[in-house]
């Protein structure tokens, strides 16, 4: 087990810190849009909590560590417990997160195509969601406690001459319909628009962190 | 149906040659357009799994131009994906206009047109030297990270295969302009190339 990923929840907001040899190397913060220090994170309540923890490793109620970082490629899905889940570089693709807060088991799928696959391929929305549910249950998640969040499905083309590029909204509709059909409550979504996204999920507090490729982070 | 995950060395070589000739001609057009010497990198052909595709591209924001290619019977032959890192696209536009400031609309259509010219010379070369006819579609344009730009094209190709072939090269000048050029062929392009080869 490594404890290089820290989740800090302070009075002013929440933040994820990636650390390397006890030094903060990257952060995603819920107040970054209103933060006067921008992303430089020199000093604030949350940075201080993290730095203190890195020096003495004393357990603290406002800090939690995450076991690992699981990143999915296009058409893949992954299941983890206390793992930071990630899907990077989503254009028309969708990052779908299913989670059971009672057990901490959560899963992420990077969906490429709408509909279902005849041959069990998880690049399709319905098939991917099915597989994630199945694997989560196998690992001990309770079906009735599973909730969902998803983001992606942008239309990044400003000038478009190919019909096939309009797949983002179809993906978003397919994901939403599948979740409704399976009676999985949707707690948050951030779809459409013209900008690509990266999506992360923090299983400690159940928040989905959406980072836009052209700047800006939102916590949902 | 050709299995893209299982191509022979020879099939890959032929594809590489097509890419080489096309990219060489695209470089010549760019050189004439900008009146600069253009270098072309040693191209690479990779057969990759779709799930790993984000590792194939740079992670910075690019101006991306996508052009679909068809053969004479309107079969999809593949896609040309031209990536202009932002600094390069701005420099190309200012080179062509002769001034630094230009409005967004003007800049976007310029980069699309440069993409169009590069794609056309790529296609001309493939017809002249390999007898493989490729007809380019009008360009589509987006500014984002390369994976986000291309994923809708990948979605289209992923319906048929879990593998994707990427022929990639870069064109660069001494004035820090770099353009990445990728060809994502559909299996039918390989069929067309093989037919031409059999006639030799």
3-state secondary structure A28-86: EECCCCCCCCCCCCCCCHHHHHHHHHHHHCCCCCCEEEECEEEEECCCCEEEEECEEEE
Distance from CA of A13 to the nearest CA of B (A): 28
The confidence band for B188, taking pLDDT boundaries of 50, 70 and 90, is confident
Q: A4 phi and psi, to 5 degrees? A: -90, -10
Supply the pTM of this predicted model. Answer: 0.88
* Positive or negative torsion for Cα B100, B104, B105, B109: positive
Q: CB distance A156–B148 less than 8 Å? A: yes
A-B contacts (CB, under 8 Å): 115
Q: What is the pLDDT of residue A3?
A: 59
A189 Cβ contact list (under 8 Å, min separation 6): A149, A150, A151, A172, A176, A220
Q: Where are the domains of chain A?
A: 5-66, 68-219
Q: Which fold has domain B4-198?
A: Chemotaxis protein chec (3.40.1550)
* Chain B partners within 8 Å of A161 (Cβ): 137-140
Q: What is the pLDDT of residue B59?
A: 83
Q: Which residue of B151, B156, B158, B159 to mutate against A (max A Cβ within 10 Å)?
A: B151
Q: CB distance B158–A112 less than 8 Å? A: yes
Q: Is A29 a catalytic residue?
A: no
Q: What is the pLDDT of residue B200?
A: 66
B165 Cβ contact list (under 8 Å, min separation 6): B4, B7, B12, B15, B45, B46, B47, B48, B184, B185
Q: Are strands A5-9 and A63-66 parallel, antiparallel or unpaired?
A: antiparallel
Tell me which of A11 and B70 has the higher pLDDT: B70
C-alpha–C-alpha distance, residues B55 and B42, integer Å: 19
C-alpha–C-alpha distance, residues B147 and B157, integer Å: 14
Write the pLDDT tens digit of every residue in B1-54.
Answer: 566 677 778 778 888 888 888 889 999 999 998 888 888 888 888 888 888 888
Specify the CATH class of A68-219 in words: alpha beta
The confidence band for B83, taking pLDDT boundaries of 50, 70 and 90, is very high
Tell me which of A158 and B62 has the higher pLDDT: B62
C-alpha–C-alpha distance, residues B25 and A53, integer Å: 58
Instruction: Tell me which residue in B53, B140, B155 faces A92 most closely, judged by beta carbons.
Output: B155
Q: What is the pLDDT of residue A1?
A: 42
Q: What is the pLDDT of residue B20?
A: 87
Whether the pLDDT of residue B196 is over 80: the answer is no
Distance from CA of A80 to the nearest CA of B (A): 19
Instruction: Tell me which residue in B142, B143, B151 faces A74 most closely, judged by beta carbons.
Output: B151
pLDDT tens, per residue, chain A with 220 residues: 455 899 998 888 888 988 888 888 888 888 876 666 655 666 788 888 888 888 888 888 888 888 889 999 999 999 999 899 999 999 999 999 999 989 999 999 999 999 998 888 899 999 999 999 999 999 999 999 999 999 999 999 988 877 778 899 999 999 999 999 999 999 999 999 999 999 999 999 999 999 999 888 899 9
What percentage of chain B reaches a pLDDT higher than 90? 28
The answer to whether the CB of B88 falls within 8 A of the CB of B96 is no
Which two tokens mark A117? 């696959």
Distance from CA of B199 to the nearest CA of A (A): 33
Closest CA to B136 of B88, B61, B68: B68
Q: What is the pLDDT of residue A40?
A: 62
Q: CB distance A89–B145 less than 8 Å? A: yes
The answer to whether the CB of B4 falls within 8 A of the CB of B50 is no
C-alpha–C-alpha distance, residues B27 and A104, integer Å: 54
Q: What is the pLDDT of residue B190?
A: 80
Q: In the beta sheet, which residues pair with residue B81?
A: B66, B182
Q: What is the pLDDT of residue B147?
A: 92
Q: CB distance A75–B140 less than 8 Å? A: no
* Chain A partners within 8 Å of B146 (Cβ): 89
Write the pLDDT tens digit of every residue in B120-147.
Answer: 999 998 888 888 889 999 999 999 999 9
Q: What is the pLDDT of residue A186?
A: 96
Q: Which residue of A76, A114, A157 to mutate against B (max B Cβ within 10 Å)?
A: A157
Closest CA to B193 of B42, B3, B14, B1: B14
């Amino acid at each position: 087990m490594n404890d290089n990923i820290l989740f800090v929840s302070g009075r002013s907001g929440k933040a994820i810190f990636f650390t390397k040899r006890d030094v903060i190397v990257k952060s995603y913060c819920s107040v970054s849009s209103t933060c006067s220090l921008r992303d430089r994170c020199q000093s604030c309540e949350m940075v201080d909590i993290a730095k203190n923890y890195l020096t003495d490793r004393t357990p603290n109620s406002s800090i939690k560590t995450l076991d690992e970082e699981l990143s999915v490629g296009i058409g893949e899905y992954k299941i983890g417990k206390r793992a930071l889940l990630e899907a990077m570089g989503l254009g028309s693709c969708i990052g779908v997160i299913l989670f059971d807060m009672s057990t901490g088991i959560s899963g992420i799928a990077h969906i490429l195509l709408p509909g279902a696959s005849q041959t069990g391929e998880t690049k399709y929305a319905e098939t991917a969601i099915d597989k994630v549910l199945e694997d989560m249950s196998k690992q001990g998640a309770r079906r009735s406690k599973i909730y969902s969040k998803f983001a992606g499905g942008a239309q990044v083309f400003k000038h478009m001459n190919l019909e096939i590029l309009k797949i983002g909204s179809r993906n978003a509709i397919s994901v939403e319909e599948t979740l409704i059909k399976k009676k999985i409550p949707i707690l948050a979504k951030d779809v459409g628009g013209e900008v690509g996204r990266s999506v992360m999920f923090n299983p400690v507090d159940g928040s989905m962190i959406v980072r836009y490729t052209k700047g800006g982070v939102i916590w949902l | 149906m050709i299995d893209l995950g299982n191509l022979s060395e020879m099939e890959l070589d032929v594809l590489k040659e097509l890419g080489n000739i096309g990219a060489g001609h695209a470089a010549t057009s760019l050189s004439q357009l900008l009146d600069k010497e253009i270098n072309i990198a040693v191209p690479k052909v990779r057969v990759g799994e779709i799930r790993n595709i984000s590792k194939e591209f740079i992670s910075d924001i690019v101006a991306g131009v996508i052009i679909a290619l068809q053969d004479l019977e309107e079969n999809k032959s593949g896609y040309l994906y031209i990536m202009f890192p932002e600094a390069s696209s701005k420099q190309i536009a200012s080179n062509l206009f002769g001034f630094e400031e230009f409005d967004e609309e003007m800049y976007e259509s310029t980069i699309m047109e440069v993409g169009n010219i590069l794609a056309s010379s790529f296609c001309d070369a493939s017809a002249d030297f390999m007898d493989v006819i490729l007809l380019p579609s009008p360009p589509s344009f987006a500014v984002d990270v390369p994976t986000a730009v291309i994923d809708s094209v990948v979605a289209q190709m992923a319906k048929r295969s879990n593998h994707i072939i990427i022929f990639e090269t870069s064109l660069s000048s001494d004035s820090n302009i770099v353009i990445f050029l990728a060809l994502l062929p559909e299996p039918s392009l390989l069929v067309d190339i093989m037919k031409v080869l059999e006639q030799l």
